[in-house]
Amino acid sequence: MRWGWVLAVMCLAWSANAGVPKLIEPELHLPPSPAGVTRVALTFDACDGHVDRRILDALEAGNIPATIFVSGKWLARNPDDFAELLSRPDLFELEDHGAKHLPAIAAPTQIYGLRAAGSVAAVQAEVAGGAQALVAAGGAAPQWFRGAAAEYDAQAMAVIQGMGFEIAGFSRNGDGGASLSERQTAKVIGAAQDGDVILSHINQPGHAAGAGVVEGIAALQARGVVFVRLEDVFPHRRGPF
């Protein structure tokens, strides 16, 4: 009876997970730096909501370059802040974070409470719609795409790359989706090493993590870290949008 019960539970568990796709969280590292130079790429997601002035002000005041992934939802709600980003092409590289901030997963599923795109056509619409919104707002045609939740299934990754986009992974999750405390965020970012691509969020002004982002960046500055944008290190032909 005991083994029969265990087998039944195992079968139920297999059945419940049979339709769940295997998700991939791509890593991205910068190429090795010249001897003695520590290079780090700051990348930010602007998912929805508004802009975190603590972070944006610190980047502008310190002339710190960054790559910012903007969604169509964020663009629609923050035209003035986007215009400010556009006014500093010396600092900000603007890339595609999707049209509706749907995880770019071709299989029907949910991740971190977000409903995935759920089909190949929906992944294509999410990627293309985000790129089109960015260009329509005055941005350059994006070359990089980062989906909501930054996880994908293999089918979606093939679709995105087939559309001519690079998938922007990362090597260091700076703020845990803006869920970490100020102290935790500052510690994670401040410990970045040469070649790290840091993922943080610039759309959560009410979260403590934003203050930690600023502190972590200051710690890197104090170490003499050189900040670069993805386009500075990975030159690539801009997409068709």
Q: Is residue 3, in this structure, part of any structural domain at all? A: no
- In a domain? residue 200: yes
pLDDT in tens, 114-153: 999 999 999 999 999 999 999 999 999 999 999 999 999 9
The answer to whether residue 202 is domain-embedded is yes
pTM: 0.90
Let me know if residue 125 belongs to a domain.
yes
Residue 96, sorted as left (phi over 0), alpha (psi -120 to 50) or beta, turns out to be beta
Q: Characterise 149 by phi-psi region: left (phi > 0), alpha (psi -120 to 50), beta (else).
A: left
Cα separations in angstroms, 186 against 54, 181, 204, 222, 239: 14, 9, 16, 13, 35
Q: Does the pLDDT value for residue 239 go beyond 70? A: no
Residue 100: inside a domain: yes
Alpha-carbon distance of 143 to 96, in angstroms, equals 8
Q: How far is CA 236 from CA 37, 98, 143, 164, 166, in A?
A: 23, 20, 7, 10, 9
Question: What b/e string do you get for 39-70 counting C-beta neighbours within 10 Å, with b at 16 or more?
Answer: bbbbbbbbbbbebbebbbebbbeeebbbbbbb
178-221: pLDDT as tens digits: 999 999 999 999 999 999 999 999 999 999 999 999 999 999 99
Contact 205, 105 (CB under 8 A): no
CATH of the domain at 112: 3.20.20.370
Q: Report phi then psi at 210, rounded to 5.
A: -60, -40
Query: Is 241 within the bounds of a domain?
Result: no
- Structural domain count, the chain: 1
State what percent of residues in the chain have pLDDT above 70: 89
Structural domain includes residue 12: no
Domain containing 163 equals 18-233
For 73, phi then psi, to 5°, come to -65, -45
